[in-house]
Structure 1
Amino acid sequence: MDGGGIDTESGTVQFINSKIIDNTTTGAQGGGIWNAVPMTLIKTEVSGNVAGGSNGQGGGIYNNPAGTLVLRDSSVDRNSANGTGTSQAGGIYNPGGTVTLDRSEVNNNASTVAPGGVWTDTQFTVNRSEIQRNIPTNCAGSPVIITGCVG
């Protein structure tokens, strides 16, 4: 089972002034959110979520290739991908979807294997946002390094 807190597969989803916190999936993808639709998070916190399955991806958010994810004034913090094997991206895992970070942060996330912050194979749009203090790395180890992401 993926999407420990939220699993979206149809429609359009928007969260405003919300908290998606302390969810766990024993599956491999999306401890907090598994997304495959147009989704917007406004002033929303995604934290304390865990992708705990083998080769876990996206402790906070897994954005499916069909997904369009916009974070505005939001945070993806203190999530983890800590299952056995090559668990990556405690923050956001994005295999081909579209992601925009606008005045948002991806901080203090962790994974078993780099990167701990963001894994993506497509470039993000980043406006006045930060990706910092993730372990073992912020973005290093991802096929595409997000513009402005260091280490």
Structure 2
Amino acid sequence: MNYGAAFNELGYCLVNNRRDWSAASDSGVCLALFTQLKGVENKRPYIDYWEAFPSLDDAEYWIGQSGNSLRKQHIMEAIQRFERRIDVVLCDGDPQKGFGNAEPWQVERRKGFWAITRFDPSTGYFRAEVFAPGESVQNKVKEA
């Protein structure tokens, strides 16, 4: 599926398909996550930017992009308005080269939801993890 269509399937509309890495609506926030950056811990997927980009030099190509600025706003909105929960579009491809195929994360089918457990608003680094339905996110929240 293409990138914009994956966001649309989850009820979100990107302002700019080439520039935006996230979107928001009245009912939530959706982030694009590269499958290349995904890890697994206790049989659950996660994305951790501190692991993926150990040095800020490793993140130089994206940290100043407008997509990161917008994503930081959307992550803050998810934390403040939606109990840290996010919708997710999983993307193939390379963060430095762009998106390939995109797949919306269907919570009901996957029997789990994503949530932000760590966030640094100055850099945009974050950690997002999958939780089982009804599981508390607050027990896993860490300071940046």
What TM-score does the superposition give when structure 2 sets the normalisation length? 0.29
- Greater radius of gyration (CA): 2
Bigger proportion of residues as strand: 1
Bigger proportion of residues as helix: 2
What TM-score does the superposition give when structure 1 sets the normalisation length? 0.28
